[in-house]
């Protein structure tokens, strides 16, 4: 039995049934990391010793006959490098935080520990989660395991690569404008962005506080549902956390979708920039759901054309505010050769931040500045309300919205670095979900002619992740895409 080929839920069952041990499972994934990480650059820090110790503790609990263990008990997990894990480095893949040690655990990390999930280490990402390709990392880009000349998506590229290449059974990423769903699409994994407030952001290094949300990567829907069960829930330490019941997401699996109504937004389909391969994958998904008994209707989300501009005003404004704390005074990188306080501030930030982060800080500072606040930031917030209302109107008549996850399969490394606008357009189908605060999931929707994965996105009503899991699992069961694996993982 090759342990790294098993799903996370299958591994947990095997551990509980004493067919294997958590330490054996964790060691198997560590071995895969040692073999593949140098070539794929998924992990930027490794916590193997701590993970093996945690696995041993899990095995002692199983041996003691402990009951009521979590759905993913004993299964190792990887974290994006913007989540605090006490006593370990959290750098956001930025020079300005290159030696920062987390002084406490993020709430999601506390929940993983409580569920008995050993943490393998931290995964590569675009600096401060700003990017769509993981090319903005100080550690260099992660590489797509389906084709090493291609990007893995971003900003949670390393987390997606770790799962796709069998270096981790599941992982966590963060999604501000598509940073879980777009890498999931590029790497052929499942990626869920939960409803805003469903998962605590306490201990997540902030990019844009009204948009950020932590979510799971997995190889199948069952594992994604199990991991969301572990990390979801109200947290008094996060003022944006919502106090609402967390259902058992596993009960939504293996259910009929007959009669469910799926909306097709005309603004997302047939537009310029949508590749033929992606368009055909969407058509095939519609055909499969139709056979399963789902019903479709065309709808309009009329403010879609304003999503990109709205997002890059709000996100950069919040980034400008959040990143003001990195000044060389409190923690992180400092230019020690500066001759004055002003020079220390300016040189530290100039040397510590990469080009994309500087670009967004400057944009955000501009739209928040006197004389421009009302014209840009305030207007963007009003348009954001209109975008949310578009979704609310559709969800009065439909259970779900189906769109592509990304306009194209993974593009070549370096292809869009010189053109930020083209890079930003990679998230054209995902940013609206963050602006509206609703859940979205990317599922494997087949392959392009170049044998690159294509993602299909399902968008749901607030706090109705269970409905997304129901639809996604029905599609997954009706197809064979999840049986495919990248050549680099064999």
Give me the pLDDT at residue 464, please.
Answer: 98
* Fold designation for 3-262+397-489: Amidase signature (AS) enzymes (3.90.1300)
pLDDT averaged over every residue in the chain? 96
| Residues in a beta bridge with 42 | none
> What percent of the chain has a predicted confidence (pLDDT) above 90?
93
Integer Cα distance of 203 and 198 in angstroms: 15
Residue 293 forms beta bridges with which residues?
A: none
Question: Do the beta carbons of residue 159 and residue 54 sit within 8 Å?
Answer: no
Strand 261-265: give its sheet, edge to edge: 43-46, 119-123, 77-80, 170-174, 214-218, 190-193, 440-447, 453-460, 400-404, 261-265, 295-299
Label residue 489 by pLDDT band (50, 70, 90): low
How many angstroms separate the CA atoms of 313 and 328, rounded? 26
225-275: pLDDT as tens digits: 999 999 999 999 999 999 999 999 999 999 999 999 999 999 998 665 799
Residue 23, H or E segment = helix 22-40
Q: What token pair was written down for 116?
A: 């008995």
Identify the band that residue 488 occupies on the pLDDT scale cut at 50, 70 and 90: low
Q: Rg of the chain's alpha carbons, rounded to an integer?
A: 21
Q: How is 169-225 classified by DSSP, letter by letter?
A: SEEEEE-SSSTTHHHHHHHT-EEEEPPTTTB--TTBPPSSTTT--EEEEESSHHHHH
pLDDT on residue 272: 58
The strand pair at 190-193 and 214-218 is best described as antiparallel
Other residues' Cβ atoms within 10 Å of the Cβ of residue 120: 28
Handedness of CA 171, 225, 26, 146 (dihedral sign): negative
Going by the DSSP 8-state scheme, the letter that residue 98 receives in this structure is T
**Phi, psi dihedral angles at 236 (to 5 degrees):** -65, -15
Q: Is 159 a catalytic residue?
A: no
Question: How many whole angstroms separate alpha carbon 3 and alpha carbon 7?
Answer: 9
239 assigned to active site: no
The string of DSSP letters for 376-389 reads IIIHHHHHHHHHHH
Model confidence pLDDT, tens digit, residues 116-143: 999 999 999 999 999 999 999 999 999 9
- Please tell me which residue in 132, 142, 179, 250 is annotated as part of the active site: 179
Domain boundaries, the chain: 3-262+397-489
pLDDT cut 70: percent of the chain above it: 99
Q: Average pLDDT of 216-220?
A: 98
Tell me if 226 sits within 8 A of 250, measured CB to CB.
Answer: yes
- Token digits for 159? 């987390």
In this structure, the chain runs to a length of 490
Q: Which helix (H) or strand (E) is 112 found in, with range?
A: helix 107-114
The residues near 395 (Cβ < 8 Å, ≥ 6 apart) are 461
The catalytic residue among 80, 111, 416, 470 is 80
- Distance separating alpha carbons of residues 273 and 288, to the nearest angstrom: 24
pLDDT confidence of 82, banded at 50, 70, 90?
Answer: very high
Residue found by looking up tokens 């269970």 in the block: 466
Q: Nearest CA to 137 among 122, 147, 117?
A: 122
Question: Encoding tokens for residue 173?
Answer: 């990423």
- The residue-averaged pLDDT of 324-330 equals 92
Tell me, yes or no, if the pTM score tops 0.95: yes
Q: Give the single-character DSSP code of 306.
A: G
Provide the sign of the torsion angle of the four alpha carbons 84, 221, 253, 16, taken in this order: negative
| Residue 136: predicted pLDDT | 97
Instruction: Tell me whether residue 388 is one of the annotated catalytic residues.
Output: no
Q: Hey, is 84 helix, strand or coil?
A: coil
Confidence at residue 425, expressed as pLDDT on a 0 to 100 scale:
86
Rounded mean pLDDT, 36-52: 98
| Catalytic choice (155, 250, 320, 432) | 155
- Report pLDDT digits (tens) over 405-433: 999 999 999 999 888 888 988 899 999 99
Summary count for the chain: helices (H), strands (E): 15, 11
CA-based nearest residue to 311, from 264, 270, 367, 355: 367
Q: Tell me the three state secondary structure of residue 69.
A: coil
């Amino acid at each position: 039995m090759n342990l790294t080929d098993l799903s996370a839920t299958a591994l947990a069952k095997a551990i509980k049934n004493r067919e294997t041990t958590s330490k054996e499972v964790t060691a198997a994934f560590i071995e895969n990391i040692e073999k593949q990480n140098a070539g794929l650059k998924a992990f930027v820090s490794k916590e193997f010793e701590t993970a093996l110790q945690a696995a041993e503790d899990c095995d002692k609990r199983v041996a003691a006959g402990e009951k009521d263990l979590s759905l993913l008990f004993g299964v190792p997990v990887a974290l994006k490098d913007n989540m605090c894990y006490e006593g370990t480095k959290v750098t956001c893949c930025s020079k300005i935080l290159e030696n920062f040690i987390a002084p406490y655990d993020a709430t999601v990390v506390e929940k993983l520990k409580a569920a008995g999930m050993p943490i393998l280490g931290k995964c590569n990402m675009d600096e401060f989660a700003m990017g769509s390709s993981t090319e903005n990392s100080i550690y260099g880009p992660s590489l797509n395991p389906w084709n090493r000349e291609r990007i893995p998506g971003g900003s949670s590229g390393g987390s997606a690569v770790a799962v796709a290449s069998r270096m981790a059974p599941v992982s966590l990423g963060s999604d501000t404008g598509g940073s879980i769903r777009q890498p999931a699409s590029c790497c052929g994994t499942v990626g869920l962005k939960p409803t805003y407030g469903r998962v605590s952001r306490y201990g997540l290094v902030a990019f844009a506080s009204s948009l950020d949300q932590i979510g799971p990567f997995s190889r199948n829907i069952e594992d994604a549902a199990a991991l969301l069960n572990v990390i979801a829930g109200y947290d008094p330490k996060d003022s944006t956390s919502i106090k609402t019941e967390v259902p058992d997401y596993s009960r939504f699996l293996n259910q009929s979708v007959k009669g469910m109504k799926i909306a097709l937004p005309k603004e997302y389909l047939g537009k310029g920039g949508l590749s033929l391969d992606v368009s055909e994958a969407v058509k095939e998904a519609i055909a499969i759901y139709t056979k399963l008994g789902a019903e479709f209707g065309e709808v309009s989300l009329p403010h879609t054309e304003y999503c990109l501009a709205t997002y890059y005003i709000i996100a950069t404004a919040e980034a400008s505010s959040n990143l003001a704390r990195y000044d060389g005074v409190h923690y992180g990188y400092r230019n020690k050769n500066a001759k004055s306080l002003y020079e220390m501030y300016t040189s530290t930030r100039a040397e510590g931040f990469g080009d994309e982060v500087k670009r967004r800080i400057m944009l955000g500072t501009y739209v928040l500045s006197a004389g421009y606040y009302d014209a840009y930031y305030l207007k963007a917030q009003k348009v954001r309300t209109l975008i949310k209302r578009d979704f609310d109107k559709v969800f009065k008549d439909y259970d779900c919205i189906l769109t592509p996850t990304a306009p194209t399969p993974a593009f070549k490394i370096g292809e869009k670095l010189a053109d930020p606008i083209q890079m930003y357009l990679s998230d054209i189908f995902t940013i609206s979900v963050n602006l509206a605060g609703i859940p979205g999931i990317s599922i494997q929707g087949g392959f392009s002619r170049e044998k690159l994965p294509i993602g299909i996105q399902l968008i749901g009503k607030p706090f109705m992740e269970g409905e997304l899991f129901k639809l996604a699992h029905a599609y997954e069961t009706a197809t064979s895409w999840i049986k495919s694996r990248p050549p680099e993982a064999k």
